[in-house]
Amino acid sequence: MSLLPFPPQATIRSISDIAPYIAILSNIQSRFIPACTINDTDSGYGDGEPVDDGRIEHQIAVEGIKKWLFRRMEELETLHVEKEEESKCIVEALERTAGVLEEWLNDKPSDDVSPCESDIESWSFTHATLKLSEPSASRTGSDVEIGTQIWNAGLVLSRLIDASHLFPPYPTNILELGCGTGLTSILAAMVLPPTTHITATDFHPIILETALKNARLNNVEERVSFQVLDWNNPPTHSQFISTVLAADVIYAPEHARILPKVIHTIFVNSLSAEPKQAVIVNRIRPQFFSAISDFEKNMEAFGFVGTWVWADELLDKVEKQRYRVYRFAWKDASELPSR
């Protein structure tokens, strides 16, 4: 069996590109999804060498297609929308793409198929170069798949730290929400003074395992701690956190409600005497305008005073008016509402 071809070099730059993309998506479904759902049982009593039935080549191709689809999802989310019909078209394309990915993510691969589980890439900034692994999470489920991808908002937040737009003054303890691969926390550990300690958090232990491995790849495991943090059950024990960082964490209505409460809880229980602040970089997606607006209102309701600027006003080579950089100052705990 010959190596299955990867998707064509198609990109989505305008609404008119969606229809051809849907056609490609349909072709991917018809060619790859059926093969994914076949689970042959090997008795183990076959004679001679194992027969190469193409499963390894197939899974390698699937891993490439999955990454290709994630990039197309990013492009869909950044399209400029002028009409409601266009927004619906984008949402439909995103849902169809998510459906294809879900088919693969829920499929249990054969134990004898062992493609490369991770790709280590270098990411260069002005003051540091990182090595990061983006593992294939096809064995773990869609939430973990998303958590172990590097997203552009995280790169923007990291560049802001690298370019000294956020610090000094340098906080003693930083906590990152939704650290994913660990990109931002690791970069912070590499460029901020050794007096700053970073706590990287995420909801799933497997995601944190990847982040810890990446910290070790960059020799900063002594500067970064890793903790599971469930937004629905934020920690109430005493800490010394004065700065919270997060990137691309508002992409659903429930995030607009939960995130302000999480940050509020962290600061209420902080013993740090330093000024409290939250810095959040979020990609602005047309389908989530209302969630962004609700997030801003909820942060104010929890006692935060905030401002925002477009990332492209601070950094070069950033898409125009795509990423908001929020900076929230926290009032004294005695002024906060009871929640």
pLDDT reported for residue 278: 97
CA distance linking residue 215 with residue 28, whole number of Å: 36
Kindly indicate the confidence band of residue 82, based on its pLDDT and cuts at 50, 70 and 90: confident
Q: Is residue 3 part of a domain?
A: no
Same domain, 260 and 136: yes
Which of the 8 DSSP states describes residue 211?
A: H
Domain assignment present for residue 111? The answer is no
| Residue 32 belongs to some domain of the structure | yes
Question: Does a structural domain hold residue 2?
Answer: no
DSSP string, 17-53: GHHHHHHHHHHHHHHHHHHHT------S---SSPP--
Separation between Cα atoms, residue 323 and residue 285, nearest integer Å: 9
- How does strand 277-283 pair with strand 224-228? unpaired
Mean pLDDT of 64-89: 79
Higher pLDDT, 95 or 126: 126
Instruction: Please spell the DSSP secondary structure of 115-147, one letter per residue.
Output: ---EEEEEEE-SS-EEEEEEE--TTT-HHHHHH
Residues 40 and 127 reside in one and the same domain = no
Distance from CA of residue 239 to its chain's centroid? 25
Same domain, 43 and 180: no
What pLDDT does 5 receive? 53
Residue 100 shares a structural domain with residue 129: no
Q: Assess whether 284 and 190 both reside in one domain.
A: yes
Same domain, 94 and 213: no
Q: Which two tokens stand for residue 84?
A: 């409601």
64 and 140 in a single domain? The answer is no
- The percentage of residues in the chain with a pLDDT greater than 90, rounded to a whole number, is 44
* Residue 262 host element (H or E): helix 253-268
pLDDT at 156 over 80: yes
Q: Which of 105, 136, 155 delimits the end of a domain?
A: 105
Nearest to 207 by CA among 111, 289, 128, 140: 140
| Pairwise pLDDT comparison (97 vs 303), residue with the higher score | 303
State yes or no: pLDDT of 138 exceeds 70: no
Q: Which of residues 80 and 249 earns the better pLDDT score? A: 249
In this structure, the answer to whether residues 153 and 243 fall within a common structural domain is: yes
Task: Identify the pLDDT of residue 206.
Answer: 86
Residues 162 and 304 in one domain: yes
* 68 lies in the same domain as 132: no
Cα 187 to Cα 294: distance, rounded to the nearest angstrom: 30
Q: Is the pLDDT of residue 227 over 60?
A: yes
Which residues make Cβ contacts (< 8 Å) with residue 70, sequence separation at least 6?
A: 101, 149
Phi, psi dihedrals of residue 78, rounded to the nearest 5°: -100, 0
Please count the structural domains in the chain: 2
Query: Domain span at residue 285?
Result: 118-335
| Residue 285 and residue 259 share a domain | yes
72 is written with which tokens?
């197309």
- Is 6 part of a structural domain of the chain? no
**pTM for this entry:** 0.68
Residues 129 and 179 in one domain: yes
Lowest mean pLDDT among 57-71, 102-116, 243-257: 102-116
24-71 pLDDT, tens per residue? 888 888 877 654 443 433 333 334 444 445 565 666 677 778 778 877
Does 146 score more than 70 pLDDT? no
| pLDDT tens, position by position, 269-302 | 999 999 999 999 998 877 778 889 999 999 999 9
The rounded distance, in Å, linking the Cα atoms of 90 and 98 is 12
Which residues lie closer than 8 Å to 176 by C-beta, 6 or more apart? 184, 185, 188, 198, 199, 200, 201, 244, 245, 246
Residue with tokens 């700065």: 243
The pLDDT assigned to 298 comes to 96
